[in-house]
Structure 1
Amino acid sequence: MPDLGSFLKGAHVDRSVFELRPDYRAMLLAVDGIRPGAGDEDSEALLVAAEASVREPADRPVEELPHIASWREAYRAFGAKPQRTRNSLEALTRRAGSEAGLPRVNRLTDIYNAISVIHQVPLGGEDLNRYVGSPRLIRATGEEPFDTVADGADVVVHPEAGEVVWCDEIGVTCRRWNWRQATRTRLHDGTTAALFILDALDPMTDQDLDGVADDLLTNVARLGPNVHSARRVIRP
């Protein structure tokens, strides 16, 4: 298990990404000491609150909510079609407002999904112990490997050239900025150390972003007596 501070110190956002969106900020939270477990009353209450927050009468469609609209613009900027590949925030928000509601997975996943919807910010959670090196956000060459599942089978595919991707030393960990996570690093029922990535664009302020991180860490801190964390914001 790497030192959390050293792990985050090695994280990097490529200059080409900031050229695409100068308002972009990445909040990285590394957490260790998590005790895995099934959903509980607290995580269920968060999910219910998240669902209620988007089921209330709204004066605009989901795609016009401020942060979701910003992410749609960001996707178009690198050639993705947001109506076909929805950013994680939009996908979760739509599901939260549907009859099906948010998925119930495990308490760690349920917490970060709920926080994403409540605070309206794309929020990825990954198994830190499965990283090889620190996370990097780059414009892909198109040759990087991405392990995923297609038609029930494990496959390796590649991002499109110019696509914004998170990666480590051996491959892509999340495609299209915050669209789909790799199989290798995704959270699972036995995760004890996690990396959370909060992606912010205008109109989300730095103060708002800090508040989301505080709320997430408050909820994750109860998942074990020895939970500890480190955080870092990467900005232009």
Structure 2
Amino acid sequence: MQFEHSPQLRDAYPDLIAGVVLASGITATADVTRHAASYLTEARRRLAAGPESGFPEIQAWRRAYAAMGLRPTRYRCAAEALLRRLRLDGELPRVHPLVDLCNAVSAAYAIPVAALDLDRVDGDLVVRPAHGDEAYLSFAGDTEHPEPGEVTFVDSVGRAHARRWTNRQSGWSAVRAGTSSVLIVAEALHPGAEPAVTRLVADLVTELTDEWSAPTAAAVLTRAAPRFRTPTAGDDRGQAVSPGIR
């Protein structure tokens, strides 16, 4: 399996930095409450200084959405939506231990983080503008087709795993009780994104190891190194990453 952003997308957003973590052995029985709380504390600390709309990470995504012809206050990136909910409600909903952890990390870093069930992804996965014939399954069970040019995650059989890039994930590959193998993707566009994403990836690898003893492979993708391939037997299982928020 290979993951990448299309050359067209990277040309349009040359500052895009993505963190990728592959993990197996995930279960729904882990208790991530304590560790997730530390990330939510960091998110609340940042929100105490001002609303999420002023964060440079969120402003970069708002500019990207405006460039795509989308109204940023209607279609928020996932990180902004989480931070807004945390600010208004004081907590984030609990879904699944892995999703809860990824949401807390996303809020702390103000960077969108998606977790996909790899068993529900066919072949390679490319983040690219849609052609318009891709199939997206909503959480309500409805099949939708992303608009031509809309950025989405597309697998080898033409299934769309997101709408409007980082706005909404697909119900098809959402993490669920029986999920075992996952691909976690974090994407950032703001100045200084590479060290932030590197720290975020380090945090995820640490948490996955602590909570699930999950074998992991990780990478930080840039314009110069845009591709992640699933390791095979004998491959290096990842790369050195710096410690982040704990």
1:212-227 aligned within 5 A: 212-225=200-213, 227=214
Cα 1:106–1:149 shift into 2, 3 Å: closer
Compute the TM-score of the two structures, normalised by the length of structure 2: 0.83
Which runs of no fewer than 5 residues in structure 1 stay unpaired?
Answer: 1-6
The one-letter code of the counterpart of 1:194 is V
Distance in 1 separating the partners of 2:136 and 2:104: 26
2:153 alignment partner, one of 166, 170, 186:
166
Identity of aligned pairs, percent? 29
Distance in 1 separating the partners of 2:101 and 2:17: 22
Q: How many pairs align?
A: 222
Runs (4 or more) in structure 1 with deviation over 3 Å come to 38-41
User: Does the CA-based 8 Å contact 1:111-1:220 persist in structure 2?
Assistant: no
Q: CA deviation at 1:205?
A: 3.0
Q: CA deviation at 1:50?
A: 4.8
Q: Partner of 2:73 in structure 1? A: 83
Q: Partner of 1:103 in structure 2? A: 93
Distance in 1 separating the partners of 2:197 and 2:62: 19
Q: Partner of 1:17 in structure 2? A: 9
The one-letter code of the counterpart of 1:231 is A
Q: Partner of 1:31 in structure 2? A: 23
Distance in 2 separating the partners of 1:41 and 1:113: 12
Q: Partner of 2:240 in structure 1? A: none
* Alignment pair present for 1:115 and 2:105: yes
Distance in 1 separating the partners of 2:95 and 2:31: 7
Query: Which string of whole-angstrom CA distances, capped at 9 and with x for unpartnered residues, describes residues 197-229 of structure 1?
Result: 11011213322211110011111212324x111
Which runs of no fewer than 5 residues in structure 2 stay unpaired?
Answer: 224-246
* Alignment pair present for 1:179 and 2:202: no
Q: Partner of 1:125 in structure 2? A: 115
Cα 1:231–1:54 shift into 2, 3 Å: same
The one-letter code of the counterpart of 1:119 is Y
User: Does the CA-based 8 Å contact 1:140-1:160 persist in structure 2?
Assistant: yes
The one-letter code of the counterpart of 1:36 is A
Q: Partner of 1:49 in structure 2? A: 41
